[in-house]
Structure 1
Amino acid sequence: MRFQGRVVVVTGGASGQGEATCRLFAAEGAQVVVADWNADGAARVARDIGGAPFAVDVAKESEVAAMIDFACTRFGRLDVLFNNAGVGHSATGQFRMASIVDTPEDAWDSIIAINLKGQAMGCKHAIPRMVAGGGGAIINNASIMAIAGVPGADAYTAAKGGVVALTRVLAVDWGAKGVRVNCICPGTIATPMVGNLIEDPEARQRLGESTPMKRIGDSDEIARVAVFLASSDASYINGAIIPVDGGWSAL
C-alpha cells in the first residue's frame, strides 16, 4: 500500500498500459483519476477500481487543465501524473508504419498534438499543484522508437523523441522543487494500439523473436515500472529514460 492517501492521474487509462497502471496504483492504495477520451471505457475502469473517471482530449490544453483541476478538487491534492495517452499513425489510434513523405499534414498535427503536446500540457498544469503540495512524480510514456532508429512511423517517432527531451529538461528544471520526472520507453507491448500488428500469430511470433527475450511484453510489465518510478523506492531517480523492451535496444 505504498500509495495510501496519494492521488494519481493516468491519461489513456481506459485500456492497455494505462488501464493496467490504474489497476496497480489502486491496488497499492491510491485514489486514481482514470482519464481517457473514451468516456465509457474510463467509467468502466474507474468503477472496477473505485476511482474517478474523467473524459479528456489531451490535445486540448483547456481539457488537460480541467483534468488536473478535477483531480485536485475531488481528492484535495495531486501526487502522481502518468502521461500515458497516445495514438499510433492512423485515425483509429492503431499503429501503422509510414514515412514522412507519406504522412498527411493533418495526421502529423494530430500525432504531435496527442503524443507530445498532450504530455507537455499535463506537465504544465500538474507541476504547480505538485510544487504547492510539497512535490510529486511525473512519468511520461514514450517509445523505444524515441531512442533507436526504426524506419517508418516518422511522426510517431518525432513525437516520442520530443517526450524524451521534454522529460530531461523538466527533470532539471523542477527536481529542486521536489518534482521528479522520468520516462518509460516501451518496446512492443500487447495493447489495442498494436492489435493490428499482432493479431496474426506468425506476425506476433516474429515481433517476439526480434527481442533477446523472444517475446513481446504485456501491459502489466509497463505498469510495474510506472508505479515503481512514482514510488518512494525511486526517490533519487530523476530524468531517467528507461527502455522496457525485452532487451531489444541492446542489440
Structure 2
Amino acid sequence: MNTPNTLSVLSCPQCGGELHPDEGQIFIICPYCGATVFVDKSRTVFHWVLTPTLNGEQAEAALKRWMSGSETVKDLDQKSQIVNRSFRYFPLWYFRWKSDGQERVALEPAAATSVTELAHLSLLAGDLRPYAPSLEGDSEPPSVPLEAGLDWFRQSHAGAKVEEMALVHVPIFEFKYLYRGETYTAVVDAATGSVLANVYPAKAELPYRLVGGVAAVVFLCLASFPVIGGLADHDGGAIAGFLLCSGLGLIAAPILMAWAGWVAARV
C-alpha cells in the first residue's frame, strides 16, 4: 500500500524493476540496475545527458567564427557586443524510430525557448551518458509534458512508430549580444560548437539580387547581338554580332565583378 507521499508504483524502462518515487520527484536512479530515469506523470523514460566539450571561452570563439561567416552582416563579430553569457543543460524530448530499415531520431523542446533551432541538433546514441544528479543545479527542468512532445512528433512524422522515448539534457551556452541597439540571442552547442539562432542580423539580399539581375540582363542583351546580326545580314551579320558581343563582354565582365566585390565588402 502506498504512503500518502509516494506515487503509484512505476517500472524501470531498462530492467522492469519497481520504482517508488516520492511525490514531486522527477529524477530518480533505479536501485536495481542503476539506470537514470525521468518520471512524467504515470510513466518513466530514460534520462540522458550530453557531455560538454567546450568551455565558455571556446564557445565564445565559436560564436565569433559564426558571426564572421557568410550568413551574418559583414564584421558582425567586430561591430556587436556580447552582454551576457550563461551555461545550462537544456531538456529535449528524444524519439527514436525506424524508417526504411534505418534508425532515425527526432528532438522536440522539453522547455520553453526562443531558440527553436535546438530541435535541429544532431544526437548520436553513442554520445549520450546517464544523467547524474549532481548536474541538477545547472539543468533546466522540463516544463513541456511528454505527451505534448509526442503530439509534435506525430504531426511531423505521421505514421511513425516510436521505439524509444527519453529525456536528454544537452549542454548549451546562451549568448545575448547587442548590434545597432537591438539585442539578439544565439546558442552554442557546448558538445559540438555549432551555433543556433532563429533571429540574427543577416546579410541584406537586395544588393546581391540587384547585381545578379543586372549581370543577367547585360549578358542576355550581349548574347542577342549574333542573333540580331544574323537576321539583319545573312552573310556576315552573325560573325559581326559575335565579335561585338565578345568585345563588349570583355569590358562588362570586370566592371560587374568589381561591382559585386564592392557590394560583398560592404554588406
Larger proportion of strand: 2
Structure number with larger C-alpha Rg: 2
Give the structure with the higher percent helix: 1
